[in-house]
Amino acid sequence: MTSDRGGGPNIPVDVVQRLVNALQAGPVLGRETDEYQQVLADLRTLFAEAWKHVPSLYLTIRPDGIDFRGLLFSTPDTETLAGLLHKDGLRSLKFMRGQKGKKLSGF
């Protein structure tokens, strides 16, 4: 299944879903844990897959989840990444091909 909402190239929805899941998992893990390092490795792999389909990935942050081209990846717990980012006033994220891993891990 792919998403073509909002125009532009298609990207498999499962890639976006796995990216959102990994983004959500990262903040709850300690940075020094093996699990956190695995999430970072997974994100690198998933972004590499995304870049095969699109040059950038724009995500809208909502209090109830992360939206990609009208598809809501729901996260009802306000303590998730989406809930925390929204509470802090962040309303969107844009990831672009070519961004370095250090920027992602710093995020």
- CA dist 42 and 24 (Å) reads 12
Stated pTM of the model: 0.70
pLDDT at 91: 95
pLDDT in tens, 28-72: 666 678 887 887 788 888 888 888 888 888 889 988 888 888 888
**Residue 25: enclosing H or E segment and its boundaries?**
helix 13-25
pLDDT in tens, 7-16: 445 677 877 8
